[in-house]
Amino acid sequence: MIKKTILSAAIMLGAYHLAFPHLPREYSQLDGPQRDNYFRAQQYVYETPPGMSVIVGSSLSLRLNAAALGPGYYKLCLGGGSIFTGLEIVRQAAHHPRVVLVEINQLGWNKDEELVHDLFAPWRTRLRAWSAIFQEEGRPANFVNGIAQRMLVATCHWGTKLMGQAPSPDIPPGSGVLNPVLFARLLRMYHDEALATPPPDLTGRANRIGEAIDALGRDGTICVLYEMPIDSSLSGRPSPVAVRNAMALRFPKTKYHWLEFPQDHDYKTYDGLHATQAEADRLTSLLIEEIGHISHR
């Protein structure tokens, strides 16, 4: 009985391994931001070629336009995650990038030890290198989620048609369509709570980033620090100011590369922190232009 069970499982595993490259990815959907973080980390380790530039950041930098960045950049931007996690992944990966851009906005979050351990555990590394079905993108649950989501959307669509109602327009987050009431509420929350208190031990955190950046620099990687613009009413709150000052002290502009976005206008966001898509596209163009200048110095 046990032998038959093992044999059946091996056959199903082999069949899935052979079928997976041919399965349409539009029917696959990751289950939430944490699963997306695992996917991004694994894609960087297993699929990114040597010499590619990498952006280490949070969900703020995730808004940058991947198509405009082109195939020479990889966004190792973890939603709700720490840049310490991203820097550790870059450090342990087998290849070193040509350029590393480091977003400094979120210094208060610690490294995700569980993600890093899962990513670099030797036995998992060997399995994932052998077949993508052991990577995050190969989880069968992704296809279950994707198909269920499509069925739900189709059901709602046909339901509204049968009831004689026009379907509601699909307005994705960050599209630039703002809900003024919700936007004002979020601004108050960030202003009075989330950005009112600086993260603890900023000097120590800045030094830890410095150790990682200096090590990458010794290996020939160009490291560039930058701060993603947020709503002007929030940029002067105690937390952003404290982070800005601590990083400026640890990384003087006479010794380190900084990318500075122009402050000639109020950057548009859909929640106070994350840029609207139009604004993110503009920031992406500025980033590419500035990196070109730094790389040719």
Q: Could you list the pLDDT tens digit for every one of the 297 residues in the chain?
A: 676 666 665 666 666 656 666 666 666 666 677 888 999 999 999 888 888 999 999 999 999 999 999 999 999 999 988 999 999 999 999 888 999 999 999 899 999 999 999 999 998 888 888 877 777 776 666 665 656 666 665 665 555 555 555 444 433 444 455 578 888 888 899 999 989 999 999 999 999 999 999 999 999 999 999 999 999 999 999 999 999 999 999 999 999 999 999 877 788 998 999 999 999 999 999 999 988 878 665
**What is the C-alpha separation between 162 and 136, in angstroms, rounded?**
38
* Residue 147 covered by a domain: no
* Residue 242 covered by a domain: yes
**What is the C-alpha separation between 153 and 55, in angstroms, rounded?**
34
* Residue 202 covered by a domain: yes
Domain limits for position 221? 51-112+173-295
Where are the extended beta strands (E) located within the chain? 53-57, 73-77, 99-103, 222-226, 257-259
pLDDT of residue 263: 77
Domains in the chain, number: 1
* Residue 258 covered by a domain: yes
* Residue 150 covered by a domain: no
Alpha carbons within 13 A on the beta-carbon side of 12: 7
Q: Which long-range contacts (CB under 8 A, 24 or more apart) does 2-8 make?
A: none
- Pairing verdict, β 73-77 and 257-259: unpaired
pLDDT of residue 172: 45
* Residue 210 covered by a domain: yes
DSSP assignment letter at 275: B
**Do residues 118 and 74 lie in contact, with contact meaning Cβ atoms separated by under 8 Å?**
no
* Residue 107 covered by a domain: yes
**Do residues 88 and 209 lie in contact, with contact meaning Cβ atoms separated by under 8 Å?**
no
For the chain, give the number of residues: 297
Dihedrals phi, psi of 100, to nearest 5 degrees = -120, 120
pLDDT of residue 173: 45
CATH number at residue 276: 3.40.50.1110
198 Cα distance to chain centroid: 23
113-120 vs 83-92: helix axis angle to the nearest 10?
20
pLDDT of residue 27: 60
Global confidence as pTM: 0.83
